[in-house]
Amino acid sequence: MENKFKLVLKDGRQLYGTCFGYPKKTIAELVFNTSMVGYQEIATDPSYKDQIVVMTYPIIGSYGINEEDNESKAVRLSGIICKEYNDMPSNYRFTKTLNELLEESNVPLLQGIDTRYLTRIIRDEGSQIAMICEATYSLEKALEELNNYELPTNQVEMVSTKKKWISRTKNPKFNVVAIDFGTKLNIIRCLNKSGCNVIVLPHTATVEEILSYNPDGLFLSNGPGNPEVNINAIDVVKKLKGKLPIMGICLGHQIICLASGAKTYKMKFGHRGGNHPVKNLLTDKIEITSQNHSYAVLEESIKNTSLEVTHINILDNTIEGVRDDKAKLFSVQYHPESAAGPEDSKYLFETFTKYMNDFKKGQ
């Protein structure tokens, strides 16, 4: 028996479909992702906390889910919207279906939606709060709940690790402390592959706690929500800037910029997908990048800081990377670990290890 459900927007528009996963009423921020593959990574990426993701690629689920490609230990998003869901995967690696993963995680998937139409709404009107609910649910009641809903501001607290954990590698050359704001596991794997033992600490980590591990470098992870609420992390970067090489990705990039005196703002609909063109201003090369963010750094606010802009987005000229070469600090807005996505930007982990090497020699 089909579960008839609908998506309700704040202006009263209703889009009807069939519910897979765990059929329940859900309210969250509605965003879209243009990736052709990677729904498993998207579902388990902590940066999607409190978001319903519209997948623009028309068929989702066709290669199933495997045990190796999760980006965290749990499904983090609030729901998935797609045109067509395939519940019969064809892939030698698959161990369960997307439907089974979402059902276990109490997350709904709504299929049968005109995702091109829905994506145009988000593109033209911006990301917005929406509800997934049963088709018979009262529109009046749905709109009342939508109008009264406020997005949480403690998403990082909800997805960050609660205690320290360590990921070691063979023949390590560096010890890196990573602050977890909602880190993707492939970032830790990439640091390991670059010769780093990684000590992962909660988002509440203090300067004293970080330095107690005598690290060669500090890494700031991706994560969900408004970067400005991470007051502790911003203060930590201010105090450690110049005392350790520092690398940041996504939310980590925004925190580095805020700690340096720049400002951030919420974008109309953000960047989410695996094919965003970014220009490296240091090499004049174009990188195809994987992205997932709602906030960006205000260009004008960079001018009075020590930061140099190193990367810009070709589509809208937003800032995609900065550095302070003297302080051995740099960050990018996109995801160089890029799973699932292109691999154009993995050199950035080499940049981090070079900074750590140079810093060691200078001591």
What ranges in the chain are assigned the alpha helix state H? 39-44, 98-104, 115-125, 139-148, 155-159, 185-193, 207-211, 231-240, 251-259, 299-302, 347-362
What φ, ψ does residue 301 adopt, rounded to 5°? -75, -10
Q: What is the pLDDT of residue 1?
A: 45
List b or e across 276-299, with b for residues whose CB sees 16 or more CB atoms inside 10 angstroms: bebbbeeeeeebbbbbbbbbbbee
Q: What is the pLDDT of residue 361?
A: 80
Q: What angle do CA 42, 46, 52 make, to 5 degrees?
A: 60
Q: How far apart are CA 303 and CA 305, in angstroms?
A: 6
CATH level 2 (architecture), domain 4-151 = 3-Layer(bba) Sandwich (3.50)
**CATH class of the domain at 156-362:** alpha beta
Sorted by sequence, the CB contacts under 8 Å of residue 361 that are 6+ apart come out as none
From first to last of its 363 residues, what are the pLDDT tens digits of the chain? Answer: 478 999 999 999 999 999 999 999 999 999 999 999 999 999 999 999 999 999 999 999 999 999 999 999 999 999 999 999 999 999 999 999 999 999 999 999 999 999 999 999 999 999 999 999 999 999 999 999 999 999 999 999 999 999 999 999 999 999 999 999 999 999 999 999 999 999 999 999 999 999 999 999 999 999 999 999 999 999 999 999 999 999 999 999 999 999 999 999 999 999 999 999 999 999 999 999 999 999 999 999 999 899 999 999 999 999 999 999 999 999 999 999 988 889 899 999 999 999 999 998 876
Q: Are 69 and 99 in contact (CB under 8 A)?
A: no
Q: What is the pLDDT of residue 338?
A: 85
Residue 6: how many other CB atoms lie within 10 Å? 21
Query: What tokens were used for 363?
Result: 């001591």
Q: How far apart are CA 165 and CA 279, in angstroms?
A: 35
Q: What angle do CA 29, 35, 41 make, to 5 degrees?
A: 75
CA dihedral (19, 23, 25, 31) in degrees, to 10, reads: -50
Closest CA relative to residue 239, chosen from 210, 203, 213: 210
- Region for residue 248 given its phi and psi (left: phi exceeds 0; alpha: psi -120 to 50; beta: otherwise): beta
Catalogue the active-site residues: 250, 335, 337
Q: Where are the domains of the chain?
A: 4-151, 156-362
Q: What is the pLDDT of residue 341?
A: 87
Which amino acid is located at 46 in the chain?
A: P
